[in-house]
Structure 1
Amino acid sequence: MHNLPIFDLAIILIYLIGMVVVGIYFSRKNKSAEQFTKASGTIPGWAIGLSIYATFLSSNTFLGVPGKAYGSNWNAFVFSLSMPLAAWVASRFFVPFYRQTSEVSAYTHLEKRFGPWARTYAVVCFLLTQLARMGSIFFGIALSLQALTGYSMETVMLVTGICIIIYTVLGGMEAVIWTEVVQGVIKTLGAVLIIYLIVTDMPGGFAKIMEIGQSDNKLSLGSYAPDFTQATFWVVLLYGFFINLNNFGMDQNYVQRYHTARSAKEAAKSVWLCVGLYLPASLLFFIIGTCLYAYYDLHPELIQSIKNQVALERLPATASTADIAQMAASLQPADYGDKVMPHFMVTKIPAGLVGLIVSAILSAAMSTISSGMNASATVFSEDIFKRYINPDLNDKKGLLVLHLATVVFGLLGMGTGIAMIGVKSILDIWWELSGIFAAGMLGLFLLGIISRQSRNAEALTATILGVLVILWMTFSHLLPAELEQFRSPLHKNMIIVIGTLTIFLAGVILTRFRHKTPVTATIPPAYKKEKTLR
């Protein structure tokens, strides 16, 4: 780590060792599969809320959001504005639904409603979503630490990945939640520190930053025109609502936490605590992006090294100096936005503080990856291994399966991150992949709990139609020019919206057509009061 001073390196190592020690501490209690996946239902609601918040606030937020704000504007902040409505639906209907079923897997009830294929389909969609999430986060953290350490992105992913695997395997869900509580605090303080350092080094201070941001339209939330072919305010709002509905209602990362709470009321409160923390926290990262834009707008000479680096990455090794200079001159802010904050950290942040901020970035990555590994292992154990291989696992063998699955999914996440090296925007690639994989399972889930008369045949037919629509919207841009009229005209963020609605509405229509009777929409009732676990 030749670019980092010893003091910064020591801070980072202490943080990594601390996370492993937490896993070792909780391993003493981790003697059963229930403890590994549910923490025996003993976690207070405020800790669960901080844990969900930390999962939301991943390195995709820590690095991708400032890069997006630097390269464009605050349009992506509309995603955060959609969270309260999705949280209301989740706390009112989904949390009680899961608490009453007592199923640790979010997908078990789909088999009861529609058969084994529905459960398996949702599990596959979830696992693909998790690999995309973990891969984008591994890629994001490697992008920043490469600039700071000089080591390759693959090496960075391997070192951080091993630490995450160790404490997740040893500590289980309880270790994941309590480390995320700490990580949520660290990454928020890191964001505040970065803003402070930029503003204090900025001629004219925060007022100048806002002046430049307003003059260059960097504070815009996007166009309000009813245009669904571009990333307008309405497109991002719809995308945010549907993806957050999926997060709170279908994502095992969050559903699993509902079972760790002492009561349904505590679980519902944790959802609102997450929203209350994430909204202002995400705003901080958009402010960071605008601060960086204004800073480098006043110091354009400092950005040249970033442009040269991006040009070198895009050109073949045989490119001449003139080719590199020409490529660098043609680059737009959106082409190198993700690299600006790591560059500022390397060149402008004093020794000592770099270690603290790197620890914040590590915490942003580790919280979401560890959560994804634990959730993926739980789904594999409950929905694949117990369902198709060995349904009569005892606690000892069940815990072994969970441990092995955690390691495997951690390694697969690293591999996905390596495959993403070279993408232009972390946030864009994550949003696109999550929308594609989440659309199918969200539509099926809503059909299962709302349209009580829908059965296997309607659900299967609707899902096939939905998958075809999702595939068309995802790949139709590859059609040759002579078939341009068959390309999807909608923005890629609309995939989850259209895919979800296709499955749900097709299922409802088919049900009405087959039964010749109106479909009764039954939302799960509000939660019943539970006896608080002590």
Structure 2
Amino acid sequence: MLPIADVSVILVYLAAMVYVGYFFSKRNKSESQFTKASGKIPGWAIGLSIYATFLSSNTFLGVPGKAFGADWNAFAFSLSMPLAAIIAAKYFVPFYRNTGEVSAYTNLEKRFGPWARTYAVVCFILTQIARMGSIFFGLSLTLQALTGYDMKMIMLVTGICIVLYTVMGGIEAVIWTEVVQGILKTAGAVLILYLVIKNTGGGLGKIIVIGKGDHKFSLGSLNPDFTISSFWVVLLYGFFINLNNFGMDQNYVQRYHTASTPRQAARSIWLCVWIYIPASFLFFVIGSCLYAYYQVHPQLLEPVRLQAAAERLGSNASPAAITALAATLKPADFGDKVMPHFMVTMIPTGLLGLIISAILSAGMSTISSGMNASATVFAEDIYKRYFKKQLSDREGLRLLHVGTVVFGLLGMFAGVLMIGIKSVLDIWWQLSGIFAGGMLGLFLLGILSKKTGNVAALGGTLTGLLVILWMSFSYLIPDQYAFLRNPLHANMIIVVGTLVIFLAGLLFTGKESRKQAAGNN
């Protein structure tokens, strides 16, 4: 169990976050205030808020776990952000500010009809539930290792706190709590790095020698091989995911409307990028340092191996079976558990509470943002579109509050379903690639191809969906038909899916144009 001092720090942090929601609740008298904060948030706060959303517990725990178990291959994801930011700041921000629509998906109906809007909304909601679930799982996994409490109970308590301040304070509370959380989680990472280096015999020099010797600083294969997680696969995946984040994700699009001017909104994107890249680098360094630390002190890693083996075999496994399996596990099999173990064994009382608060902030910022954005999309794109278009401010707020609670519960349920997975970062990347691929392809078709109509867009989307489903589930094909399986790495799903929808849509557009020309003749 945690010492009283650490528990007190955590309780103070949670109470402060709920108070922020209560503080801003006095302003939330309308839907516009709840979803847009009346467009009065400064650009620097929005930028820190977007950064905090990016820097979730998947980064806080998953990135050091990947660096510990493998190398720095996943850092190529961060390197792709500036190119996506250029496109977003120049084209996406002005587009959304000009439309004035709080939902990112309203324009799709204007371009292609109700089916396009509904499809994008379904993809977004599924993405958010998967994302919130992976973050709830990551939080509970860490806090269980640190406190001994049940993972489901941890999800419930943290979920209640997040729902409270998100429901009370709306997007304004979400943004300002994320400003605090972004600073706190970065400070926590710096503190962890300092403690790892301090407790590794030989310091930073020893860490570099061990890392070089075991190729821990590699960015992956530079060969143009798209069947493995090469540098180019992760870079392409990162570019398309970040383009989706900045261009189609309601979490980010909604923030563009909270800025006072389009210029402030564009600046917020760049502030996020220039903070996130060095911050993600910091987490890769932590993972490599942890690897070196446990190479110097291998005996300290045995409890982690045993815990990972016990979770794989289940509660009925014998100690002998657990010990035998633990001896065969590789670093990649328990990477996500290493940092929590270091924290609980090496971080002093008082400071541990601060670090746990930082981990909580890493997850809470993204979950609260997801709850608010999902509730907004449900209200604007589903309820008002199909049930009741005109709502009073009171009815609209009630709908947003209920939606926030429901999506929070769905996120917690998804987190429970993920208990037992090997890598939280891997599962999130795979799920986001499946759900986001079709949505981004359709959006780009609507923005870049002015001639594409409803039929061509529908044809392109259906073609792309078939490809995405095949790439995602072809591994289930029996061995005698193995040649029909997807040969590409799973991270290529969003890349191929997006391109197929866009290019197929252009192809169908060309056919329509030729038919029309022939008919006119």
Q: How does 1:278-357 map to 2 (within 5 A)?
A: 278-357=276-355
> Match of 1:470?
468
Residue-by-residue CA offset, 1:247-266 (whole Å, 9 max, x unaligned): 00000000000000000000
- 1:31 equivalent in structure 2: 29
CA distance in 1 between counterparts of 2:278 and 2:409 reads: 33
- Match of residue 111 from structure 1: 109
Q: CA deviation at 1:149?
A: 1.1
Whether 2:248 is the aligned partner of 1:232: answer: no
Quote the Cα distance in structure 2 between the aligned partners of 1:475 and 1:265: 43
Equivalent AA in structure 1 for residue 308 of structure 2? V
- Residue number among 371, 374, 383 corresponding to 1:373 in the alignment: 371
Task: Please report how far the alpha carbon of residue 320 of structure 1 lies from its aligned counterpart in structure 2 after TM superposition.
Answer: 2.6
> Is 1:277 aligned to 2:275, yes or no?
yes
Q: What are structure 1's unaligned runs of at least 5 residues?
A: 519-534
Matched, 1:508 2:499: no
Shift of 1:436: 0.4
- CA offset digits 1:186-215 (Å, max 9, x no partner): 000000000000111111111111111111
SS at match of 1:421: coil
91, 94, 98: which one aligns with 1:93: 91
Name the CA distance, whole Å, in 2 between partners of 1:203 and 1:402. Answer: 53
Deviations 1:63-92 (A, max 9, x none): 000001100000000000000000000000
Q: Distance in 1 between matches of 2:297 and 2:190?
A: 22
Determine which of 407, 410, 413 is the counterpart of 1:409.
Answer: 407
Q: How does 1:61-80 map to 2 (within 5 A)?
A: 61-80=59-78
Q: Give the aligned partner of residue 244 of structure 1.
A: 242
Q: What is the alpha-carbon distance in structure 1 between the residues aligned to residue 97 and residue 515 of structure 2?
A: 32
User: Which amino acid is the alignment partner of residue 498 of structure 1?
Assistant: V
CA distance in 2, matches of 1:379, 1:510: 30
Q: Which residue of 1 aligns with 2:39?
A: 41
Counterpart of 1:213 (choices 207, 211, 214) is: 211
SS of 2:193's equivalent in the other structure is helix
Per the alignment, in what secondary structure is the counterpart of residue 330 of structure 1?
Answer: coil
The structure 2 residue matched to 1:263, chosen from 258, 261, 266, is 261
**Range with greater deviation from structure 2 (204-213 or 89-98):** 204-213
Q: Distance in 1 between matches of 2:33 and 2:22?
A: 15
Task: Report what 1:488 is aligned to.
Answer: 486
The amino acid across from 1:35 in the alignment is: Q
Runs (4+) off by over 4 Å: none
Q: Which amino acid aligns with 1:166?
A: L
Q: How far apart are the structure 1 equivalents of 2:323 and 2:27?
A: 59
> How far apart in 2 are the matches of 1:167 and 1:318?
40
Deviations 1:19-71 (A, max 9, x none): 00000000000100000000000000000000000000000000000001100
| 1-structure distance, mates of 2:130, 2:209 | 37
Structure 2 gaps of 5+ residues are 517-521
Give how far 1:318 is off: 3.5
**1:487-510 per-position Cα deviation (integer Å, ceiling 9, x unaligned):** 000000000000000000000111
Amino acid at match of 1:442: L
Residue 514 (structure 1) shift: 1.7
Provide the rounded CA distance (Å) in 2 between the counterparts of 1:383 and 1:285: 37
2:519 match: none
- The residue type paired with residue 431 of structure 1 is W
- Once the two structures are superposed, residues 380-421 of structure 1 have per-residue CA deviations (whole angstroms, 9 ceiling, x without a partner) of 000000000100111110010000000000000000000000
Please point out which of 144, 147, 165 is paired with 1:167.
165
Q: Which amino acid in the other structure matches residue 270 of structure 2?
A: W
31, 49, 53: which is aligned to 1:55?
A: 53
Secondary structure at the counterpart of residue 30 of structure 1: coil
Deviation of the 1:317 alpha carbon = 3.5
- What TM-score does the superposition give when structure 1 sets the normalisation length? 0.96
Q: Could you tell me which of 187, 190, 204 is aligned with 2:188?
A: 190
TM superposition score normalised by structure 2:
0.98
In percent, how many aligned pairs have the same letter?
69
Distance in 1 between the 2:208 and 2:87 partners?
36
**Counterpart-to-counterpart distance in 2, 1:125 and 1:216:** 40
Which SS does the other structure have where 2:327 is aligned?
A: helix
* RMSD (Å) for aligned C-alpha atoms: 1.1
Structure 1 Cα separation of the partners of residues 11 and 472 of structure 2? 42
Query: 1:517 Cα deviation (Å)?
Result: 9.6
Provide, for residues 105-144 of structure 1, a one-character-per-residue CA deviation record: whole Å limited to 9, x for no partner: 0000000000000000000000000001100000000001
